[in-house]
Structure 1
């Protein structure tokens, strides 16, 4: 069992003291928080494993993201992200295959997500579009299922028109406009107060996201991550 309040309290303090001196002076606290987060992820992995065994081999240490920000290109020069993030999928934190994304953030900013968040992999976008050409009805049923509709809206970078090379009159042409395709749900801080309840809540919401993940992963089964 992990102390989620301890995690949120640390992140709140980092948010108020987003500078290198404070960050390094509180190294021990940061390491303790990271261990709490990894403990939480292990419990969550086991809970997700009840409906998706493909992620049971994942080590929590391998799926977390660093808090250090790349400040080279953005207007915000604060050096750290006051958030704990992880992507749980069959291949760890790589964006593909898609899996279950979780971001712990105070002030009701905790987010659960699923699907393809990245819109920069042109090959992935093309593979999904080509798959939709044949299996668009399957995606439409997923997106319009009552469980999905009552919880999520389909999100992602999207063109205004059906892309060149695809039939603009295709019955599922609106889905062809997407460059990325994901869902997300934000969780209030109070939902994290009961640890066991939150682990079950998060896993349950991920279970509702799984049909979309499965569809995208079938489309992306032959995708190869570009070499850096």
Structure 2
């Protein structure tokens, strides 16, 4: 057993996963889980060891980073097709990680339903029709965990694995006009509630600012002399935290993400409540 990996946080994640593994449907994952009724302790321990080995292997991201680094150097169809097995292995790891994170998030955010991780993972193929860059593949993996999947307009959680520019975060990024108006209306009516979330020391340490572009003037329909008009000028209510490669390949990467996502939850709850009340 890898001693560094077996931290208290990872023991908790593994325990949660083991209880889930007995009832989940494995789908077409390369990492197969199973139902079993052990007739003896040796049988139980054999299967338990197998689950633990697979769990550790599928939560390690170094091989994924190695694949993405090579894809950046060889972003063409010939290389990709000749390394399709490597891509599929990397994709399966990210899907496994996504499912693990979904199950942990659902313990504190009831807005997140039981979700197929395939509905959260963005495709690696680029749409190059209107781009000067004709590279056929994205050089990152991204998973969006929200009610409605990758096309949801609700606040959720996102992780982005890139050898040079990884980050985690969430909220709502570049919403449409109706959604944005609903968010601004909620903040206008409850500014102290929203600002208390943003100014919470733990939140502010992890997510120092709201991300994205701002209007230069007050948004239409809101008084310019509103005390907190600056917070209404944002075009997105998204929050991110950069992560470096050394963090991604750590054995406790999954536990770290769950912790940061739980810190984000109060902001997501406010934003989703706003959509329920004002949209």
The two structures have a TM-score, normalised by structure 2, of 0.74
Q: RMSD over aligned Cα, in angstroms?
A: 1.8
Provide the C-alpha distance between the structure 1 equivalents of 2:219 and 2:110, rounded to a whole number of angstroms. Answer: 36
1:39 to 90, 93, 96: 96
Corresponding pairs, count: 221
Q: Report the alpha carbon displacement of residue 137 of structure 1 after superposing the two structures with TM.
A: 1.5
CA distance in 2, matches of 1:155, 1:188: 19
Aligned-partner Cα distance in 2 for 1:200–1:93 = 23
- State whether residues 137 and 172 of structure 1, in contact with CA within 8 Å, keep that contact through their aligned partners in structure 2: no
- Unaligned runs of 5+ residues in structure 1 are none
SS of 2:142's equivalent? strand
Tell whether the 8 Å contact from 1:162 to 1:168 is kept in structure 2 after alignment. yes
What secondary structure is seen at the aligned counterpart in 1 of 2:193? helix
The yes-or-no answer on 1:193 pairing with 2:216 is no
How far residue 80 of structure 1 moved from its aligned partner, in angstroms, is 1.2
| Cα distance per residue 1:65-102 (max 9 Å; x no partner) | 01111223333322211101110112222232111001
Answer with 1 or 2: which has the greater Rg: 2
- Return structure 1 stretches of 4+ with deviation > 4 angstroms: none
1:18 equivalent in structure 2? 75
Residue 94 (structure 1) aligns with: 151
Deviations 1:139-192 (A, max 9, x none): 111111111221221112210111232101112211211121111111111123
Question: Residue 186 of structure 2 contacts residue 278 of structure 2 at CA under 8 Å; is this kept in 1?
Answer: no
Alignment of 1:73-152 (within 5 A): 73-107=130-164, 109-119=165-175, 121-152=176-207
**Cα distance in 1, alignment partners of residues 210 and 134 from structure 2:** 31
Q: Which runs of 5+ in 2 are unaligned?
A: 1-54
Question: Aligned partners of 2:278 and 2:185: how far apart in 1?
Answer: 13
